[in-house]
Amino acid sequence: MCGIVGYVGRRQAGPVLLNCLGKLEYRGYDSCGIAVSSGDLVVYKDAIRVKALAETLPRSIEGKAGIGHTRWATHGEPSQVNAHPHCDCTGRIAVVHNGVISNFQKLREQLSGEGHHFVSETDTEVIPHLIEKYYAGDLAKAVELALGEVEGSYAIAVLMSGESRLVVARKDSPLIIGIGDRENFIASDVPAILDYTSQVLYLEDGDIGVVTPGGVEVSQHGKVVRRERHTISWTVEDAQKGGYEHFMLKEIHEQPKVIRDTIGGYVSAAEPPAHLATMGDISLEEILILACGTSYHAALIGKYLMEELFKVAVRAELASEFSYSGRASSVSRAIVITQSGETADALKAIRKLKGEGCQVIVITNVVGSTASRLADQTVYTRAGPEISVAATKSFIAQLMALYWLALPYAKIDIRRLDGLVMELRQLPGKVQRVLDSEATISEYARQLARCEDVFFIGRGINFPVALEGALKLKEISYIHAEGYAAGELKHGPFALLGRETPVVAIVAQDNTYEAMLTSIKEVKARHSPVLALAEEGDEVVGEVADSVITLPRVDALFSPVLNAVALQLLAYYTARERGCPIDFPRNLAKSVTVE
């Protein structure tokens, strides 16, 4: 949550900060602000988007050092006074913060008793007051002492009037330093700084950094430490719309390439299936997969996939709930899925697993992320930067990683395995055929856009796809949508069916086929219109459903990929028809770095 940027160097800081902030609005966008230092410290902030803030600023903001923030509200509603940066009593120290200070109320009362005056409702405001309290000529030392009293999570950047340097620190929230030519940058995430540099340092928990135009010094517990420099492979173009109306649509259309890039790292045309993985022997007694949100739906698909191929029990659980379980994991190896590699609940689960002696495989999209550094082994998904808050291509890339992890250990006939590998290689072309039918899908979306309640149903490996389809629709179109295992409708949800409540049914050519047809007939008997997803050539589904989105034939194990892409397009065009802000849905942020 929240986006932090900072700049110190040879340019005027204001335009750089605003440009960087605009690239981070997927992390929060209910308010924003910047602070710039030349002689005095000047702060501009409000409960508006970055573009609107830029239009209200003076034409010339002098100062070559500054910090900025775009907010996803936690403490206090979006308002001018609650927007970051926050300052101390003297107005000389400004702070931007991502995270949650759990003991802020106690600190606030303590500082108020010492004469400090607070103006906002935020937890962040205690930080500049603590720094002011400890400042005695050395800003970095004051930050270190202040953070010694803070409990919770934070990534902060601190600016002081008259200084051409920034002090930064992190604990349980991501923060990177971009290395330039006589200039350096601070950001929560890589896309913010790609216009200026591809060289970055990833700060570790407990790091405090001093950033000047000429260099960076990082210390931990008072000792200078070295952080490795990484070169980002993403380009500026990767993080731009490329002519599409929305980032989400662009990212949906990038999925054939994402599939090729992800499996291309593991599969070559001449490589036999037995050599698809290098993970070593995997325990097949029990497998645990943890994730949150859309990644959890990928985990559920992984559960069905691995149970089918391994013939063993697989548990897929929400990382946010697992962390609060009192029981031990009871497994020797677990898979944790996190797109950003910075998801707070996932990181907490990883630490719990590691503390119990469990080996952890992480599936993530971000090289150098906290999760990748904590993991015993990391599988990168090669999805590139995903800007739209609603996850699309990262979800498909996670599925590719799960297929790759599963296939080498499949307890199936070698001819069946060869067939699956061949199907895997053909997926990019089949996904492209789904994308080519988006005009037809958009017509169905126009009908859906008039509704306020929609059910999604599936069975077996496509039950999680029903959950994901409902999530996509609700988060970007604001239509109430629920995903169900088809057999569960009769256990309560039937009470909500009727002519105004359409049902989207996912029909796969597997052992659930006949049961799905029965479920559709039961829904039709309650007068709900049914939009089905089915393979081309399936005339039976067309006889029982009101409308059908036809998809290319594919092995049932890979059907979630094609079905998910079709439902992404359905959600996108439904939201577009309703005039919703598709890339930035209300109340949501891309990277959930707080609990």
Please list the active-site residues. 2, 590
Sign of CA dihedral 77, 83, 86, 89: negative
Contact between 361 and 334 (Cβ < 8 Å): yes
Radius of gyration of the chain (CA): 25
Q: In a 3-state reduction of DSSP, which class is residue 112?
A: helix
Angle between helices 414-436 and 255-264 (to 10 degrees): 150
Contact between 74 and 1 (Cβ < 8 Å): yes
Can you list the alpha helix ranges (DSSP code H) found in 135-203?
139-147
Contact between 383 and 393 (Cβ < 8 Å): yes
Per DSSP, the residues of 479-545 read: -EEEEEEGGGGGGTGGGG-BTTB-EEEE--SSTTHHHHHHHHHHHHHTT--EEEEEETT-HHHHHHS
Ranges assigned E (strand) in 419-498: 453-458, 480-485
**What is the token pair recorded at 272?**
């036999």
- For residue 85, cis peptide bond before it (omega within 30 degrees of 0): yes
Contact between 523 and 497 (Cβ < 8 Å): yes
The strand pair at 86-87 and 65-71 is best described as: unpaired
Cα(534)–Cα(517) distance, rounded to whole angstroms? 11
Q: Which of 323, 318, 363 is nearest to 339 (CA)?
A: 363
Rounded (5°) CA angle 525-530-532: 130
CA 399 to chain centre: 15
Terminal Cα-to-Cα distance of the chain (whole angstroms): 10
Cα(54)–Cα(48) distance, rounded to whole angstroms? 10
Q: In the block, which residue shows the tokens 């590691």?
A: 354
Residue 348: burial class (beta carbons within 10 Å; 0-12, 13-18, 19+): middle
Cα(62)–Cα(46) distance, rounded to whole angstroms? 20
Q: Which of 23, 177, 19 is nearest to 590 (CA)?
A: 23
Can you list the alpha helix ranges (DSSP code H) found in 201-323?
247-253, 255-264, 293-310, 319-322
CA atoms within 13 A on the CB side of 186: 37
Amino acid residing at 94 = A
Distant-in-sequence, close-in-space partners of 226: CB < 8 Å, separation ≥ 6: 218
Ranges assigned E (strand) in 27-130: 31-37, 41-46, 65-71, 86-87, 93-98
